[in-house]
Structure 1
Amino acid sequence: MSETFSTPSVEVTQPLIDGLVGLGGYTHPLFNPAAGELSQGIRAPMPGQGVLLLAGGLVEQSGLLDDAIALVELREVRFLKMLRAGTTLRVDLTPGESGQTRSGKILRHYRWSAVDGHGDQILEATAVMLLRAP
């Protein structure tokens, strides 16, 4: 079994969520509560693609994959719980199988587990990364 590494955390705020919803152009009512819902304190959760965006940024910021050239593929992406404001998010990375390309670069699978500040798993995915040769 491979060792698991954790990224630093990011604080998930409502302005962050609302900003990503706006930039992404999300129109679904889940991400755009009506005035009556807002007056009742209902706020939008983070869209799944926003969770992926944050997870990718956390992985980059961590320095754990400084030898990475590119994210080649995301596989088996599962959203397990809505991410809402008022918590944090980190990514636990577990290296998996790897192989060498014809040009000598490495293709390695990493299991991503995005976890909130309560320890609840928000997302799991397999990321296939292209890495520089050692």
Structure 2
Amino acid sequence: MSAPSPESTATPQVVVDADLVDTLIGRGGYTHPLFQRVPGGDADGPPLPGQAVVLLLGGLVEQSGLLDDAIALLELRRVRFHRMVKAGATLRVRIERVASRVTSRGTQVVDFRWTGIDADDEPVAEVEAVMLMNGTGREDTR
């Protein structure tokens, strides 16, 4: 079980506008003052809650087609935020397949690293995700 050199794929992008921020905050039920619009407050409005950032990253990963053989998300091992995401940001995800192992049923447990990046190619968040995938003929890399 050795660590391979990661395979990297990039996703489409999403533009985070004020309506999207307000919708995710409202539908998510976030009540912390940081996520509320206040008269005379920050002109950019509130930041996206971390869970909303992870939601957007996951959706972009799905749009990449890389998870077309996915059966289930098994685990989010680690999530690390580097900077706030506010209206006006553009996000995309760099996806790396870090390791995999074949199960006794012929499926694969695959470790991915999702790095959310902004329009300046700066990281906003990193997610280590573990997925159960249908067998793809790749050998065990862990």
> Is TM more than 0.5 here?
yes
Q: Look up the SS of the partner of 1:36 in the other structure.
A: coil
Gaps of at least 5 residues in structure 1 are none
How far is 1:35 from its partner? 2.3
Match of 1:116 among 100, 115, 118: 118
Q: CA RMSD in A?
A: 1.2
| Cα distance in 1 for residues equivalent to 2:95 and 2:44 | 33
| Cα distance in 1 for residues equivalent to 2:15 and 2:37 | 22
How far is 1:3 from its partner? 2.4
Give the corresponding residue for 2:30: 26
Q: Please tell me whether the aligned partners of residues 99 and 108 of structure 1 are also in contact (alpha carbons under 8 angstroms).
A: yes
Give the corresponding residue for 1:100: 102
Give me the identity figure in percent: 49
Q: How many residues align?
A: 132
| Cα distance in 2 for residues equivalent to 1:79 and 1:95 | 20
**Aligned AA for 1:84?**
K
Q: Please tell me whether the aligned partners of residues 44 and 87 of structure 2 are also in contact (alpha carbons under 8 angstroms).
A: no
How far is 1:120 from its partner? 1.3
Give the corresponding residue for 1:12: 16
How far is 1:42 from its partner? 5.0
How far is 1:36 from its partner? 3.3
- TM-score, length of structure 2 as denominator length: 0.88
How far is 1:46 from its partner? 0.8
Q: Write out per-residue CA displacement over residues 3-52 of structure 1, whole angstroms, 9 at most, x where no aligned residue.
A: 21100001110110010000000000110032232xx6251111100011
Q: Does 1:79 align with 2:81?
A: yes
**Aligned AA for 1:79?**
F
| Cα distance in 2 for residues equivalent to 1:82 and 1:41 | 15
Q: Does 1:130 align with 2:132?
A: yes
**Aligned AA for 1:111?**
R
How far is 1:113 from its partner? 0.2
The 3 A distance-change label for structure 1 pair 110 and 47 is: same
Gaps of at least 5 residues in structure 2 are 137-142
How far is 1:87 from its partner? 2.0
Whichever structure has more helix as a proportion of its residues is 1
| Cα distance in 2 for residues equivalent to 1:79 and 1:51 | 9
Give the corresponding residue for 1:43: 45
| Cα distance in 2 for residues equivalent to 1:106 and 1:14 | 39
Poorly superposed stretches of 4+, deviation over 3 Å: none
